[in-house]
Amino acid sequence: MPPESSELLQGTLELLVLKALSLTPMHGWGIGHRIDQLSKDTFQVQQGSLYPALQRMLRRGWIKSEWRITENNRRARYYLLTRTGRQQLDSETRAWERASTAINGILRVRSVEGLS
């Protein structure tokens, strides 16, 4: 079990899905598994919540889906990143970096002159 786990920020799940899919097309379980691996179990994602998110992303055109056969010879629904999805991943990554730099900066401040 992870020592500390945290709730996902709104919209972060989608960013993580995009990131996971940017490496290779995957089915739903695979995406969840990959997020666990990549985040080293920092985020507790209830596995079911992946599917409404995937449905929303399909509607936005970031990903598309197709049925493929797995290595174990079963039919599974695979998700692929579209071009829009890739652009979305880039812009969200940049936005995330800007935001986290700013937040880190704020958290590093120990005292503000004139406000104490």
Partner 1 sequence: MSVLSDAMERLKALFFRGRVEREMAEELRFHVDRETAERIRNGADPESARRDALLAFGGVEQYKEAVRDARGNRPLEDLATDIRYALRGLRRNPGFTLTAILVLGLGLGATTAVFSVMYSVVLAKLPYPDPDRLMMVAEKNSPTNIWNISTADATAIRAQQRSFEAWGEVSRMEAALSGQGTPEHIMIGRASAGFFKAVGIPVARGRSIENRDEDPGAPSVLVLSHTLAERAMGGAERALGRSLTVDGIPHEVIGVLSPGRNELGGVTATAWTALKLPAPVRRGPFWMRGMGRLKEGVTVEMAAADLAGISARILPLWTDFRDSVAKLTPIPLRERIVGRADRQVGIFAGAVLLVLLLAVTNVATLVLVRASAREPEVAVRVMLGAGKGRIARLLVTENIILTLAAGALGLLLASLGLKLAVTQLSLPRIQNAALDWRAVAVAFSAALLSGIAVSLSPIAALAGRGGPLRTDTRRTGTGRTTNRVRSVLVTAEFALALPLLVVAGLLLNSFVRLSRVDPGFDPEGIVAVEVSLPAVRYPDSLALRGFWQRAEDLTAGLPGVTAAGLASDLPPDSPGTNNFNLVDHPVPDGTSEPVSPWYGVSAGYFAAMGIPLLDGRLFTAADTMPVVLVSRAWAAKYFPNEQAVGRLLISGGCYDCPRTTIIGVVGNVKNLGLAESEDAVYEQFNRNRDRTLHLVARSGAGATAALREMRELVRSLDPELPLTESILAAKLDDSLDDPRRWTVMLGAFATVGLALAALGIFGLMSYVVRQRRREIGVRLALGAEPAAVTRLIIARGVRHAAVGSAIGLVVTLALIRRLGTMLFGVSPTDLTTIAAVAALLLSVALFACWLPGRRAARIRPIEAISSE
Give the one residue of 6, 23, 29, 37 binding partner 1; rule: CB under 8 A.
29
Q: Are the C-beta atoms of 5 and 43 separated by less than 8 Å? A: yes
Q: CA-CA distance, 40 to 7, in Å (whole number)?
A: 14
Q: Are the C-beta atoms of 92 and 15 separated by less than 8 Å? A: yes
Choose between 72 and 111: whose C-beta lies nearer to partner 1: 72
Q: Taking CB under 8 A as the rule, does residue 34 contact partner 1? A: no
Q: Are the C-beta atoms of 26 and 20 separated by less than 8 Å? A: yes
Give the one residue of 33, 38, 42, 96 binding partner 1; rule: CB under 8 A.
33
Encoded amino acid at 37, one letter: Q
Where in 36-75 is the site for partner 1 (CB under 8 A)?
Answer: 46-49, 51-53, 55-56, 58-61, 64, 67, 74-75
What are the two backbone dihedrals, phi and then psi, of residue 106, each rounded to the nearest 5 degrees? -65, -45
Choose between 69 and 102: whose C-beta lies nearer to partner 1: 69
Q: Where on the chain is the footprint of partner 1 (CB under 8 A)?
A: 27-29, 32-33, 46-49, 51-53, 55-56, 58-61, 64, 67, 74-77, 84
